[in-house]
């Protein structure tokens, strides 16, 4: 059975805990035989996963290199410093904290470093492409801080204009005088003008925080403009387009802010860092510094644009008229008014195509139903897909959704056929960690 780890590792796991080994093997088989189109997911390299499974997990290393609260951290200091230096080189910044367990905790550290509880910050609302940690009332960002929101430019007569409305950003900041202006999104397919955001932040006397979790890999390779030197603080995840382990980073060029960020993260919100993940981050950041990684990111954008164009040709509307990065939002109602994101996600998963339902701008449906899908190209590009394969994926998506609209019998027949074709495609383009 194919596995996500060398045979010796899986053999050890099978011998020690067959139940867990069975579940891990099943997940390995699922990933290896399905097409991953969720924009926030990717397939880490064998080296990244190897680092995440090392003895670095056995050590507490509370504090920072050279200032730990435990002895025996010599090698943990070395790996953390290496990760920091690689992050600084990759993103062109002066300070990097590599300890956040996630992007949300990176954002929490940035908030604690730049604001006091109750302070106001401006962001894009989740339903228009923001993030849970950008001001949702059920999240720390909306519980302890006061979010105000700027808008997308949305004109029903010209839906391709679904882009950041910088006039709205300026107006909101002028009215509310936020302490922080937050940009960077989880479902926005266009280039972000960081320089323009900084201009507006300066006018309002605000600090600019950029959450680039989705586009970090593109930024690292120059495929998308960098938030530096414009942003005061930059947060990101290390998975998604950066293709590392699950985790976060916080970066800045400001020495005083770096001290506040470090203090906010530890002891503010975290205890001991996950040093095996820090090691894996170091590996991923090293991979991202290679020429091959830049070529990969260029192909990610080309693949996303090809998929968007092919779906448009099949009658689906791509919000904002296309994509400049790794993801797109597909308006399913343009294909059929009754088609929902929830149905589309379920039908496609049955055919081995993994997506996530997502609201579209001005969506009348609830977040649990939605009128759209968010699709991304990082994971398929990691497999080696090019433009021809992305056009074939678009055709499969249309075949499955068209069959679903015709009824259960047609859906069942089409799903079975497409699932077999997807398996064949995946076999031709195996995951990097499946080839051992």
Residue numbers annotated as active site:
60, 62, 211, 237, 240, 246
Q: Answer yes or no: are the C-beta atoms of 292 and 134 closer than 8 Å.
A: no
Coil, strand or helix at 148: strand
Q: Quick count: other Cβ atoms within 10 Å of Cβ 252?
A: 26
Which ranges of 17-114 does DSSP label H, i.e. alpha helix? 18-33, 46-52, 74-91, 103-114
Distance CA 242, CA 215 (A): 8
Could you tell me how far CA 289 lies from the centroid of its own chain?
19
In order of 149, 244, 389, 422, the CA distances from 429 in angstroms are 43, 20, 10, 11
Secondary structure class of 150 (helix, strand, coil):
strand
Which residue do the tokens 């398996």 mark? 423
Q: Cβ(189)–Cβ(328) under 8 Å?
A: yes
Bridge-based pairing of strands 327-331 and 317-318 is: antiparallel
Tell me the backbone φ, ψ of residue 102, rounded to 5 degrees.
Answer: -160, 170
How far is it, in rounded angstroms, from Cα 264 to Cα 106?
10
Whether 405 and 338 have beta carbons less than 8 Å apart is answered as yes
Rounded Cα distance, 66 and 168, in Å: 46
- Whether cis (ω within 30° of 0) applies to the bond prior to 229 is yes
Residue 169 contacts residue 182 (beta carbons within 8 Å): no
Helical spans, DSSP H, in 155-254: 166-176, 194-204, 216-220
CA separation for the pair 311, 301 (Å, rounded) = 15
In sequence order, the β-bridge partners of residue 330 are 318, 373
Reduced 3-state DSSP string for 234-287: EEEECCHHHCCCCCEEEEECCHHHHHHHHHHHHHHHCCCCCHHHHHHHHHHHHH
Under 8 Å between Cβ of 430 and 4: no
């Amino acid at each position: 059975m194919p596995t996500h780890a060398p045979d010796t590792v899986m053999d050890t796991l099978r011998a020690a805990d067959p139940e867990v080994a069975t579940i891990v093997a099943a997940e390995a088989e699922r990933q290896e035989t399905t097409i991953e189109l969720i924009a926030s997911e990717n397939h880490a390299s064998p080296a990244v996963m190897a680092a995440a499974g090392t003895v670095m997990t056995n050590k507490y290393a509370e504090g920072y290199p050279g200032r730990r609260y435990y002895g025996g951290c010599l090698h943990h200091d070395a790996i953390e410093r290496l990760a920091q230096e690689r992050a600084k080189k990759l993103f062109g910044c002066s300070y990097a904290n590599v300890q956040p367990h996630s992007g949300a905790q990176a954002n929490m550290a940035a908030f604690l470093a730049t604001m006091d509880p109750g302070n106001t910050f401006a962001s894009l609302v989740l339903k228009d492409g923001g993030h849970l940690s950008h001001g949702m009332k059920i999240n720390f960002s909306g519980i302890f801080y006061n979010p105000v929101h700027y808008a997308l430019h949305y004109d029903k007569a010209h839906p391709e204009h679904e882009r950041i409305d910088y006039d709205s950003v300026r107006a909101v900041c002028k009215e509310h005088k936020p302490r922080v202006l937050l940009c960077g999104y989880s479902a926005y397919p266009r280039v972000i003008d960081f320089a323009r955001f900084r201009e507006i932040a300066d006018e309002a006397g605000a600090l600019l925080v950029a959450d680039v979790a989705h586009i970090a890999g593109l930024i690292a390779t120059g495929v998308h403009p960098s938030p530096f030197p414009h942003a005061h603080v930059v947060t990101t995840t290390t998975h998604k387009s950066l293709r590392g382990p699950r985790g976060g980073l916080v970066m800045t060029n400001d020495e005083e802010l770096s001290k506040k960020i470090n203090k906010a993260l530890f002891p503010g919100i975290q205890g001991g860092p996950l040093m095996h993940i820090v090691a894996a981050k170091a590996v991923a950041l090293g991979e991202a510094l290679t020429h091959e990684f830049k070529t990969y990111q260029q192909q990610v954008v080309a693949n996303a644009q090809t998929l968007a164009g092919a779906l448009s040709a099949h009658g689906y509307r791509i919000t904002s008229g296309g994509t400049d990065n790794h993801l797109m939002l597909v308006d399913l109602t343009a294909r059929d008014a009754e088609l929902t994101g929830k149905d589309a996600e379920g039908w496609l998963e049955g055919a081995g195509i993994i997506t996530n339902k997502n609201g579209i701008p001005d969506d009348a449906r609830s977040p649990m139903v939605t009128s759209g899908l968010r699709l991304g190209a990082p994971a398929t590009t990691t497999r080696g897909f090019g433009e021809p394969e992305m056009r074939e994926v678009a055709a499969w998506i249309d075949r499955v959704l068209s069959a679903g609209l015709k009824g259960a019998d047609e859906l069942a027949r089409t799903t079975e056929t497409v699932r077999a074709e997807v398996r064949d495609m995946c076999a031709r383009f195996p995951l990097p960690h499946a080839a051992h």
